[in-house]
Chain A
Amino acid sequence: MNEHEVDLDEQRTGARLGTLLREAGPGVDEVETVALVRAGTARGRRLRRRRQGAAALAAAAVVGVVGAVGLTGALGTGAEPVQAPATQGREAAPELPPEPEEAPPARWRPVEATELAGAVESALGGQVRTVATEDVGWPIADLTWNGFAMRVYVRAAVTEGDGAARCAVEGSGPCRPVDEGAVDALTWTGPAEEGGVTGRSVTVFDDRGWDVGILVFNAADSKAGPLLADQPPLTVRELTRAILTGDGWFEAQRRG
């Protein structure tokens, strides 16, 4: 058979296979559908609670670490060496327990939310202005980049697995493998009543256990016009490169 005949043969086999596949199983009745939806929703609620719990735990850990560092700093600045008061007559623990293996290494802690603007400027250049910052267990910054709305975050992984596995579960679009991780990219246009703003997001799920994301919009506000351009000002490739080559997302990178 020549190439054309092979193609035709595959089309014919494929068409019949489609019919066979459609006929291969019983139909799905309404009772079965409702039961599956209920069970799936319940499982989704549990999963969501677990993730929120993990985020809260991460936030508490950050607060704890910051508190401990603050206390150590305050105590250490006096002229005389000062000891922390003993609690209930017990000696203070001699040292912190080692971090569990699955936790991202401490040296890869993300920078503060207020420092993300600097990270973006270092990675992408341009005029960067901070609009708002938030720490929800990980840093998030709402910025403008050359006047276009932008959101940046560095989040500890909330699902299990290496970058590719997490991207497959959490990503919105196709995942592309990169060195030590995977990239998810998505471009979408919001509803007209919110200005019809087009957004583009790129998230790098790295094998160390962090998700670094940048969302950029074609307006100064992500949820309101006027539109400043037809498309967001940065391509998926530029955003991906900025995340992968940027050196300001983690404390370890800043220290060099």
Chain B
Amino acid sequence: MTTTRQTRAQRREEEFEQLALAVTPRLLRSARLLCGDAHGAEDLVQETLAKLYVRQRSTLLPRLENPAAYAQTVLTRTFLSARRRRSSTELPLGELPDRLEPWGVAAPAAPEDRLALQAALAELAPGDRAVLVLRYLEELSVEETADRVGCTAGAVRTRCSRALGRLRVVVERSLVETEEQR
């Protein structure tokens, strides 16, 4: 009996490891864009994996139908709730911190575009940033994004439109550069 339980527990550990290895690169990519710094992103991914682990090992709740989507939802909501908690104590920075620099490893976009995009993203409200990442990096529909963030489809459309408007200068400059290169 004990051996069976141990085997089952071991199997679930292995299943979790496989799942975590599969979803982590994608989670980290989103987390970097959401947090704006490498350490914050890694911490957010670890917290997400920890919650995913607890959920996967739960015997009370049903098995997850789509663990990857669940992980992405946990990541987004953990980020948003952490930002809500910190919002009363954080001070806006006049200049971008140096920590954004380590991102610049062999990325195809022009460095100035990359930095400008990161700067523009950092100025957005966390909720707007989350919506943009889900819509345009994860390529989710408006409805799926609403589900992940926990708001209505209308709110997603409004946030997207507002955030795109604020990023338009950066994005359009990049578009012009791309067309000139052709």
> B22 to chain A: closest CB distance in Å?
9
Contact in complex: A14, B54 (CB < 8 Å): no
A17: contacting residue among B81, B104, B164, CB under 8 A:
B164
In the complex, the chain B residue whose C-beta lies closest to that of A175 is B150
Most A C-beta atoms less than 10 A away, residue of B42, B49, B147, B170: B49
Contact in complex: A21, B24 (CB < 8 Å): no
In the complex, the chain A residue whose C-beta lies closest to that of B13 is A41
In the complex, the chain B residue whose C-beta lies closest to that of A151 is B60
B139: contacting residue among A18, A41, A46, CB under 8 A:
A18
Contact in complex: A14, B20 (CB < 8 Å): no
In the complex, whether A244 has a CB less than 8 A from a CB of chain B is no
Tell me which residues from 100 to 119 in chain B have a Cβ below 8 Å from any Cβ of chain A: 103-109, 113-114, 117-118
In the complex, whether B50 has a CB less than 8 A from a CB of chain A is yes
Tell me which residues from 9 to 56 in chain A have a Cβ below 8 Å from any Cβ of chain B: 10, 12-28, 32-34, 36-37, 39-41, 43-48, 51
Contact in complex: B171, A24 (CB < 8 Å): no
Interface band, chain B: 35 or more
Also in contact, A24 and B117, with CB within 8 A (given A13-B168, A47-B50): yes
CA distance A189 to B64 in the complex (A): 10
| A-side interface residues, number (CB < 8 Å) | 51
In the complex, the chain B residue whose C-beta lies closest to that of A18 is B136
In the complex, the chain B residue whose C-beta lies closest to that of A35 is B42
Most B C-beta atoms less than 10 A away, residue of A17, A48, A173, A189: A17
Also in contact, A10 and B161, with CB within 8 A (given A25-B32, A26-B105, A188-B63): yes
In the complex, the chain A residue whose C-beta lies closest to that of B38 is A25
Contact in complex: A14, B136 (CB < 8 Å): yes
In the complex, the chain B residue whose C-beta lies closest to that of A153 is B60
Q: Which residues on A are within 8 Å of B, measured CB to CB? A: 10, 12-28, 32-34, 36-37, 39-41, 43-48, 51, 140, 153, 161, 165, 168-170, 172-175, 186, 188-190, 199, 201, 215
Can you report 19 residue pairs joining A to B where beta carbons are below 8 Å apart? Answer: A14-B135, A14-B164, A16-B178, A21-B33, A24-B117, A25-B32, A26-B107, A36-B28, A36-B49, A40-B20, A40-B45, A47-B53, A48-B57, A51-B54, A161-B81, A168-B77, A172-B70, A201-B62, A215-B62
